[in-house]
Amino acid sequence: MASKPKLLVTRRLPPAVTERLNATYDAVTNADDHIMSPDEVIEKAQGKDALLVTPADKVNAALIERLPASVKMIATFSVGYEHIDLEAAKKRGFPVSNTPDVLTDATADITLLLMLGAARRAYEGERAVREASWKSWSTTYMLGVHMTGKRLGIFGMGRIGQAVAKRARAFDMEIHYSNRRRLSADLEQGATFHADPEALLGVSDFFSINAPASAETFHWLNAARIAKLPDGAIVINTARGTLVDDAALIAALQSGKLFSAGLDVFENEPNLNPAYRELPNVFLLPHLGSATVDTRNAMGFKALDNLDAFFAGKPLLDRVV
């Protein structure tokens, strides 16, 4: 029997995925789940045929150039692949795969959780109950924002954006979106397309960021664009923290320009801007978008499906390079 392909897996994988991994691969995994330094990755990649990485790893050009010649593929346990320098991978002739589709529903679900949490002051309410500062029911106590009938602007109408729209329709929200391309009518389902994303801002009582991180979208939601949102708007981010200029968002939450925000992702995770922790009107989650047992297993299996295809000489299922 041919020997198993050798893998370096930079983070701990869910148990069911680890079981399948070990059945097919001779894998070096990360037992204590620490973030490996570039030097550690290079050292552990010696003699490996492929790497399985996550967005916690910065697979930049410098790292890719230093990888040993034995490495022939990089799979990422994520739909996002901004942490991998695709040009450098191309130069080395590596295919790169990701894990789309299987996390769409979980991420869309958490987008709605953040919308409701931010609109209905879930953090403040939860804290009041736990801290026993809730004294009595009152007609004006802790009033939030109604979602039904409001306008939702979706910035980035890919798979996740479309799944958010589907859920928001159940709340009778009016859906608006911007995207690189307009969707076909069957996918659009009555949502209003804004070719100019700046125009989306003015009609977004809720503004949901669902676009990938790129040089083009870096700090896209800045002070000037926040000013174009309706007063009292709610900002939701389940994509990447780098799309938001934190200082501008924090200032708008402090001034009352925005009613609130719901954030699952941050720039420099997990070391987010500490000012967020002081704000009552921001509902914060620690990057849980895809964090369900089913979804993380499905992501792991998908990453392995891509590696299996590569080592079987077949086309990758989810090739980004």
**Residues in contact with ligand 8YV by the rule CB under 6 A:** 54-55, 77-80, 103, 287, 289-290
* Active-site entry in 269, 277, 296, 319: 269
Q: Which is nearer to ligand 8YV, 27 or 103 (CB)?
A: 103
Q: Which is nearer to ligand 8YV, 110 or 119 (CB)?
A: 110
240 Cα distance to chain centroid: 5
How far is it, in rounded angstroms, from Cα 271 to Cα 226?
A: 23
| CB-CB neighbours of 95 under 10 Å | 19
Q: Give the nearest distance from C-beta 279 to ligand 8YV in angstroms.
A: 23
DSSP E strands, 78-147:
96-97
Active site residue 83: no
How far is it, in rounded angstroms, from Cα 110 to Cα 112?
A: 5
How far is it, in rounded angstroms, from Cα 211 to Cα 240?
A: 8
Structure-token pair, residue 241: 């923290």
**DSSP H or E stretch at residue 207:** strand 206-209
Q: Give the nearest distance from C-beta 196 to ligand 8YV in angstroms.
A: 27
- Provide the residue type at 109 as one letter: D
Q: Which is nearer to ligand 8YV, 233 or 299 (CB)?
A: 299
* Active-site entry in 121, 287, 296, 319: 287
Q: Is 293 helix (H, G, I), strand (E, B) or coil?
A: helix
**8 Å CB contact between 285 and 259:** no
Residue with smallest beta-carbon separation from ligand 8YV: 78
Q: Is 168 helix (H, G, I), strand (E, B) or coil?
A: helix
Q: Give the nearest distance from C-beta 56 to ligand 8YV in angstroms.
A: 7
Q: Which is nearer to ligand 8YV, 121 or 306 (CB)?
A: 306
Q: Which is nearer to ligand 8YV, 13 or 261 (CB)?
A: 13
Q: Give the nearest distance from C-beta 78 to ligand 8YV in angstroms.
A: 3
* Active-site entry in 120, 225, 240, 296: 240
Structure-token pair, residue 255: 């001034």
Active site residue 167: no
Active site residue 219: no
| Nearest of 82, 34, 36, 42 to residue 62 by alpha carbon | 42
Q: Give the nearest distance from C-beta 270 to ligand 8YV in angstroms.
A: 12
Q: Which residues are catalytic?
A: 240, 269, 287
